[in-house]
Structure 1
Amino acid sequence: MERFNQYWAGLILVLLLSVFLQLMPHWHATLSFNSSTVMSEGWPLITTHFIHLDWWHALFNSIGLTLIVLIWREYWTTRWLINALLLSGTATALLLWLAPLNLSFVGLSGVLHGLLAYCLIKDIRSGKKWMWLILIALVTKVIAELLGWRPTHFVGEHVSYIHAAGLVSSLLLYKLERRRISDAVSRDE
């Protein structure tokens, strides 16, 4: 069981899930986020992050996730990686649902922004103060996207909002890391 708790087991599970879902294109419409239907269905709050526009999109999101997990492997266990993906994915989707936009999206890029910012915050808190530069660069990039900067690889007009929502989810990850549900329950002594 100890081997399963290492970061790579969670990474492999997530990558296999993404490949499986990519092989099921007839499910994509049902699993995708759409502002007008997401709350009546529920599951797209999570599932939309694990399907992609095409195989290239899936490949680049998978590479991004793999790099984040490998570079900051000291922060990940299988349990925390899966919890972080679920928390960040749900928070990102809920923030986008609350936005006064009607949007549809798939992909992991918002969650990747959240995971990256979470790791940078952890590094800063552990004494690697120079990581502020990278965090500031990431936040500046997202602000530039929100102000209209659109790299040529962007697909859709609302990608900047997805990245911003993911970035905000990093604060939730940092706040909730390694906390147990039982810790939230008061105990009478």
Structure 2
Amino acid sequence: MERFNQYWAGLALVLILSIFLQLMPQWHSLLTFNSKTVMAEGWPLISAHFIHLGWWHALFNFIGLVLIVLIWREYWTTRWLINALLISGVATSVMLWIIPANLSFVGLSGVLHGLLAYCLIKDIRAGKKWMWLILIALVAKVFAELLGWQPEHFVGEHVSYIHAAGLLSSLLLYKLERRRISDAVPHDK
């Protein structure tokens, strides 16, 4: 069981699930986030993050996930990686549902922004103060996107909102890390 708790098992599970879902294009319309229907359906709050526009989109998201997990492997266990993906995915989706734009999206890039910012915050808290520079650069990039800068590889006009919502989810990840549900329940002494 100890081997399963290492980060690589969680990473393998997530990649296998994403590849499986990518191989099922007939399901994509059901799994896609659409702000008009997401709360009635529910599952696209998380499922949209694990399907992609195509194999190139999936490959780049998979590479981003693998790099984040491998570079900051000391922060990940199977359980926390899966929890972080779910928490960031749902938080990102809820924030996107709240904004007044009509959004439809798939992909992991928003969650990747959240995971990256979470790892940078952890590094800063661990004494690696120079990580502030990378975190500031990440926040500046997202602000530039919100102000209208969009590289040619962006697909859709609302990618900046997705990245911003994912970035904000990092704060929730940091707050909730390694917390148990039982910790929220008051105990009588």
Query: Which interval holds the TM-score relative to the shorter structure?
Result: over 0.9
Count matched residues: 189
TM-score, length-normalised on structure 1?
1.00
Partners of 2:164 and 2:181 in 1: CA distance: 27
Q: Which amino acid aligns with 1:131?
A: M
Partners of 2:20 and 2:86 in 1: CA distance: 18
Partners of 2:150 and 2:44 in 1: CA distance: 26
Aligned alpha-carbon RMSD (Å): 0.3
Question: How far has the Cα of 1:120 moved from its partner?
Answer: 0.1
Equivalent in the alignment of 1:104: 104
Matches within 5 A, 1:172-187: 172-187=172-187
Matches within 5 A, 1:1-189: 1-189=1-189
Q: Percent identity?
A: 84
Deviations 1:104-140 (A, max 9, x none): 0000000000000000000000000000000000000
Question: How far has the Cα of 1:188 moved from its partner?
Answer: 1.3
TM-score, length-normalised on structure 2?
1.00
Deviations 1:134-185 (A, max 9, x none): 0000000000000000101000000000000000000000000000000000
Q: Which runs of 5+ in 1 are unaligned?
A: none
SS of the residue corresponding to residue 148 of structure 2 reads coil
Partners of 2:100 and 2:61 in 1: CA distance: 26
